[in-house]
Copies of this chain bind each other. A is one copy, B any other.
Amino acid sequence: MKKRIRIKDIADKAGVSTGTVDRVLHNRGKVAPDVKKRVLAVMDELGYERNLIASALAYNKQVRIVALLPNPTQDPYWQQTTDGVQQAIKAVQHYGLLVEPVYFDVFDAKDFLVRAKELLQTKPQAMLFPPLFLEAAGWLLEACAAAAIPTVLINTQLEQGKSLCYIGQDSYQSGVLGARLLDFGLQQGQTACILNLDFQTASAQHLHKKEAGFRDYFSAHPQKQIQIIRQDFEGFQDVNKCLVFIKQLLDTHPKLAGIFVTNSRAYKVLECLKQLPERNIKIVGFDLLEANLEHLHAGEIHFLINQNPVEQGYEGVMSLFKHLILKQPVEPLQYLPLDIVVKENVDYYLQRHATLEVLGKTL
Chain A interfacial positions (CB closer than 8 Å to B): 1-2, 4, 49, 51-54, 56-57, 62, 91, 93-98, 170, 173, 176-177, 180, 184, 217, 318, 321-322, 326, 328, 331, 335-345, 347-349, 351-352, 355, 357-363
Contacts and interface: CB of A to CB of B under 8 A. Distances in A.
Contact of A361 (B49, B339, B363): B363
B1 A62 contact: yes
A53 B363 CA distance: 9
B93 A2 contact: yes
A53 B57 contact: yes
Contacts of A184: 184
Residue in A56, A98, A318 with the greatest tally of chain B CB atoms within 10 Å: A56
A2 B361 CA distance: 21
A52 B360 CA distance: 10
A340 B340 contact: yes
Nearest to A348: B337
Contacts of A339: 337, 339-340, 345
A185 to B, nearest CB: 8
Nearest to A325: B363
B326 A359 contact: yes
A1 B93 contact: yes
A55 to B, nearest CB: 9
B180 A344 contact: yes
Given A1-B98, A93-B2, A340-B340, A54 B57 contact: yes
Nearest to A350: B337
Nearest to A305: B345
Contacts of A338: 344-345, 348
A326 to B, nearest CB: 6
Contacts of A321: 363
Given A57-B57, A217-B344, A360-B361, 7 more contacts: A1-B62, A173-B347, A176-B344, A339-B339, A359-B362, A359-B363, A363-B363
B318 A335 contact: no
A40 to B, nearest CB: 21
Nearest to A94: B4
A351 B170 CA distance: 13
A177 B94 contact: no
Given A93-B2, A337-B352, A56 B363 contact: yes
* A53, A91, A176 — most chain B CB neighbours (10 Å): A53
A166 to B, nearest CB: 14
29 contacts: A1-B93, A1-B96, A1-B97, A2-B93, A2-B94, A49-B94, A52-B363, A53-B53, A56-B363, A57-B57, A95-B363, A173-B347, A180-B343, A180-B344, A184-B184, A217-B344, A321-B363, A326-B359, A328-B360, A335-B351, A337-B339, A337-B345, A337-B349, A338-B345, A338-B348, A339-B345, A340-B345, A359-B362, A361-B362
A25 to B, nearest CB: 17
Contacts of A170: 348
B52 A1 contact: no
Contacts of A56: 53, 363
A331 B357 CA distance: 10
Contacts of A217: 344
A168 B322 CA distance: 28
A87 to B, nearest CB: 14
A210 B36 CA distance: 61
